[in-house]
């Protein structure tokens, strides 16, 4: 056979094989892949939408138009033609300022949509239907367009839509803990996408546009670009200019940029004698600095502040209060309609239970902040633990708007090595009943303006994004970025609904894949809790890296509330932190009937038992197990879960691309090894106090305690 015939045969074979081959993917396209749908869906959507009319102007409208054109072309396999008059099959996108929308008489309904909501509706016209996306603003059109694209990506029926969507929070922010030198605090996906980057402007702009598109697709409308442990240099002219260039790229996607600021900046970079918030020179310095920022960034969002916490400077340095510091900035930024997000993550070394400190610090200031200040409160009273009760500040502060702060990056949940779908964790907080105004007073309702009708409502998530090709270090960690945005828009969505959306958009519609992966995701966070910190245990992680188990860590001279023993208080008697009325009395910070429920070990939820109680090893749980046996079973249950996840994943080979499949497979192997590491370390260590045997039916630990204590955590394979 001559060479030409061999080549022809080769190409013929490739043509036959290629459609059966799942092409490799890196994950860089996130959930915006826009790959061709099935022939059936393509035909169905092409019949419903065959042309596009855009009744609007401006950069944000152009972004919406560009997105639907790109998505339609990718999903349907042909371009979407533009028209100037709506006819049957037209997708009409516009605001009520334009005649084509006004003629539909939607004004009364649009009044309910606010600044960023939208209507999506099928409307009868001569010869058939048109699909309308209408809003009061261009931002609403952008979000409505992404909603339609999501429905098409997931295979939903769009023939008879009647949708009204309004975001539950005004400000829906990502907080990047990115340092100006390019490192990322608690970041496990490589270095910062914002700072200290050598690439050319075109490369950066392309990445930033993709970032903006991804955020807009889930309704995120703000981003804080630098770490809450802020460097004063962020306020220099050099960095303000960098912020301005990034803001210009974000603006067409309705995303404002925000800045974390250091309260010592007037003295450090302004060369003033001090940074006392009541010093007239300091007040003037901040006013001038704000003026400088808005001259370059007219739509600058505002400041995020961490003050007098973990060594950060703040108003306490001068005998002032958080109100003095926050209101200083709020007054300076108010003429420009900016906001100040003042974090309530504050604690000082001392004898008081750390879980009580934020409440005690901020409750006396309720109603004393300027109306453009919002207090940013972590979901729990300590520090982003795998499980915590909700912070008692939610519902307690009535006159001050509060915003929930979640952590998308997995600082305490296995970094980018562990599959932990966090929507279930966040829903646990948002749906928790504070009882501040009786039954049904959920954390979500106390922060979204439902119970306390503050005009300023917000939510924040600490980002897990870095320079890794797949953005988040673990392909499944993308789901947490996605889920945070979806819940920030609508906290009533179920975690399962969000998971299924993400799987369909990110991987495949094949139910042989979607169903088992959804099941894995829905169980994953509870599994992590079980093999790390079951039954309300918390802060058993290494003191510096927060990853591996180090319940034994003792560091001479270190703050006691930075050490695991402060929290687990294991002894020959028992284990757990006594926060009852006979202990630190942290229960008093909750409303009735929660305080009574938490105070009694017989009624305290089992998953928070050792958060609120120090109990003997022989204490009998409702299941009949002793506390020691229950702890053991939970640790083993967590390990068995991740082993099962591994097996389920292995059975999915060939359904998705080989690259992502194998990369996830590797991560699952690492997670299983580390889950066993956690199980053995904690059980063997606590056994030295309990003096009891591991239940006979459970497998024996594969490690030795002395061996485990010598393990040095290596960060290199996490970045």
Distance, CA of 485 to CA of 220 (rounded, Å): 6
Residue 711's contacts (CB-CB under 8 Å, 6 or more residues apart) are: 548, 677
What count of other Cβ atoms lies within 10 Å of the Cβ of residue 278? 13
Q: Which two tokens stand for residue 230?
A: 């802020």
Distance, CA of 14 to CA of 21 (rounded, Å): 10
Q: How far is CA 559 from CA 139, 310, 348, 566, in A?
A: 47, 11, 9, 10
Residue 137 near residue 115 (C-beta atoms within 8 A)? yes
Pick from 683, 669, 395, 660: which is nearest to 534 by CA?
Answer: 683
Pick from 273, 318, 268, 308: which is nearest to 289 by CA?
Answer: 268
Pick from 555, 561, 525: which is nearest to 418 by CA?
Answer: 525
Do strands 118-125 and 574-575 pair parallel, antiparallel, or not at all (unpaired)?
unpaired
Helix axes 201-217, 478-489, angle to 10 degrees: 50
| N residues, the chain | 719
**Burial of 12 per CB tally in 10 Å (0-12, 13-18, 19+):** exposed
Query: Residue 586 in 3-state DSSP?
Result: helix
Residue 89 near residue 125 (C-beta atoms within 8 A)? no
Backbone angles phi, psi at 689, to 5 degrees: -95, -40
**Burial of 485 per CB tally in 10 Å (0-12, 13-18, 19+):** buried
Residue 683 near residue 632 (C-beta atoms within 8 A)? yes
Q: Which two tokens stand for residue 37?
A: 């749908």
Mark whether 310 is an active-site residue.
yes
First to last CA, the chain: 52
What count of other Cβ atoms lies within 10 Å of the Cβ of residue 216? 25
Residue 225's contacts (CB-CB under 8 Å, 6 or more residues apart) are: 176, 178, 194, 243, 246, 257, 258, 259
Q: Could you give the count of Cα atoms lying within 13 Å of 183 in the half-sphere of its Cβ?
A: 7
- Cα dihedral 693→699→702→703 (10° resolution): -30
Of 165, 383, 657, 674, which one is the catalytic site residue? 383
Of 25, 67, 405, 411, which one is the catalytic site residue? 411
Mark whether 238 is an active-site residue.
no
Element (H, E) at 113: none
- Strand-pair partners of 200: none
Element (H, E) at 553: none
Q: Which two tokens stand for residue 528?
A: 């992590």
Mark whether 353 is an active-site residue.
no
Q: Which two tokens stand for residue 46?
A: 């092409």
Respond yes or no on whether the N-terminal peptide bond of residue 593 is cis (omega within 30° of 0).
yes
Helix axes 495-506, 423-430, angle to 10 degrees: 150
Of 111, 310, 699, 707, which one is the catalytic site residue? 310
Distance, CA of 72 to CA of 74 (rounded, Å): 5
Within 385-532, residue ranges assigned H as helices are: 423-430, 443-447, 478-489, 495-506, 511-532
Distance, CA of 169 to CA of 159 (rounded, Å): 29
Give the residue numbers annotated as catalytic, written as ranges.
310, 383, 411
């Amino acid at each position: 056979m001559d060479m030409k015939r061999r080549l022809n045969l080769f190409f013929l074979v490739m043509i036959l094989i290629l459609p059966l081959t799942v092409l490799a993917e890196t994950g860089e396209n996130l959930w915006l892949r826009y790959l061709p749908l099935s022939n059936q869906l393509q035909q169905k959507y092409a019949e419903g939408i065959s042309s596009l009319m855009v009744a609007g102007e401006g950069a944000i409208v152009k972004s919406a138009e560009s997105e639907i054109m790109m998505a339609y072309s990718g999903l349907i396999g042909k371009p979407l033609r533009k028209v100037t008059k709506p006819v049957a099959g037209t997708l009409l996108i516009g605001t009520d300022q334009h005649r084509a929308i006004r003629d539909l008489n939607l004004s009364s309904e649009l009044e309910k949509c606010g600044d960023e909501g939208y209507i999506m509706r099928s409307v009868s016209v001569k010869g058939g239907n048109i699909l309308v996306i209408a809003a009061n603003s261009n931002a609403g059109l952008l979000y409505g367009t992404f909603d339609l694209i999501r429905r098409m990506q997931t295979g939903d029926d769009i023939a008879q839509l009647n949708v009204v969507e309004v975001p539950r929070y005004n400000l829906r922010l990502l907080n990047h803990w990115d340092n100006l030198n390019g490192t990322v605090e608690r970041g496990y996906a490589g270095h910062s996408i914002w700072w200290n980057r050598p690439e050319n402007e075109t490369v950066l702009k392309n990445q930033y546009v993709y970032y903006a598109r991804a955020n807009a697709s889930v309704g995120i409308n703000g981003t804080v670009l630098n770490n809450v442990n802020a460097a004063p240099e962020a306020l220099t002219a050099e960095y303000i200019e960098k912020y301005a260039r990034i803001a210009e790229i974000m603006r067409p996607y309705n995303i404002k940029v925000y800045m974390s600021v250091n309260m010592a900046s007037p003295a450090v970079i302004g060369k003033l004698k001090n940074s006392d918030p009541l010093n007239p020179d300091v007040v003037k310095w901040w006013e001038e600095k704000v003026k400088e920022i808005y001259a370059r960034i007219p739509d600058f969002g505002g400041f995020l502040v961490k003050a007098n916490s973990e060594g950060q400077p703040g108003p306490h340095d001068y005998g002032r209060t958080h109100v003095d510091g926050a209101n200083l900035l709020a007054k300076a930024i108010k003429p420009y309609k900016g906001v100040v997000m003042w974090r309530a993550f504050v604690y000082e070394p001392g004898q008081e239970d750390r879980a009580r400190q934020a409440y005690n610090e901020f409750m006396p200031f309720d109603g004393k902040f300027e109306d453009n200040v919002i207090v940013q409160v972590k979901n729990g009273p300590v520090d982003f633990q795998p499980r915590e009760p909700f912070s008692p500040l939610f519902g307690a502060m009535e006159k001050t708007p509060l915003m929930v702060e979640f952590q998308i990056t997995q600082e305490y949940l296995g970094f980018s090595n562990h599959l932990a779908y966090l929507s279930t964790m966040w829903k646990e907080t948002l749906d928790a009943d504070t009882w501040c105004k009786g039954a049904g007073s959920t954390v979500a309702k106390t922060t979204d303006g439902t119970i306390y009708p503050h005009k300023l409502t917000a939510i924040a998530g600490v980002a897990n994004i870095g320079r890794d090709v797949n953005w988040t270090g673990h392909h499944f960690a993308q789901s947490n970025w996605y889920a945070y945005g979806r819940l920030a828009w609508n906290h009533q969505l179920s975690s399962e609904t969000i998971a299924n959306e993400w799987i369909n958009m990110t991987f495949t519609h094949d139910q042989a894949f979607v169903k088992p992966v959804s099941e894995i995701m829905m169980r994953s966070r509870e599994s992590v809790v079980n093999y790390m910190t079951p039954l309300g245990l918390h802060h058993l992680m290494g003191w510096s890296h927060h990853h591996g188990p180090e319940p034994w860590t003792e560091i001479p001279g270190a703050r006691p509330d930075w050490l695991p023993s402060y929290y687990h208080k294991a002894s020959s008697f028992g284990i757990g932190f006594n926060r009852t009325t006979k202990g630190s009395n942290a229960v008093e910070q909750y409303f009735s009937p929660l305080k009574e429920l938490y105070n009694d070990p017989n009624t305290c939820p089992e998953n928070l038992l050792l958060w609120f109680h120090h109990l003997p090893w022989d204490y009998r749980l409702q299941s009949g197990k002793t506390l020691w046996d229950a702890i053991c079973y939970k640790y083993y249950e967590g390990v068995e879960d991740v082993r099962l996840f591994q097996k389920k994943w292995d059975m999915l080979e060939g359904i998705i691309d080989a690259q992502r499949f194998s990369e996830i497979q590797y991560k699952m192997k690492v997670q299983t090894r580390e889950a066993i590491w956690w199980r053995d370390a904690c059980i063997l260590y606590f056994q030295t106090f309990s003096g009891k045997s591991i239940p006979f039916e459970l497998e024996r630990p594969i490690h030795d305690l002395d061996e485990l204590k010598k393990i040095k955590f290596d960060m290199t394979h996490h970045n």
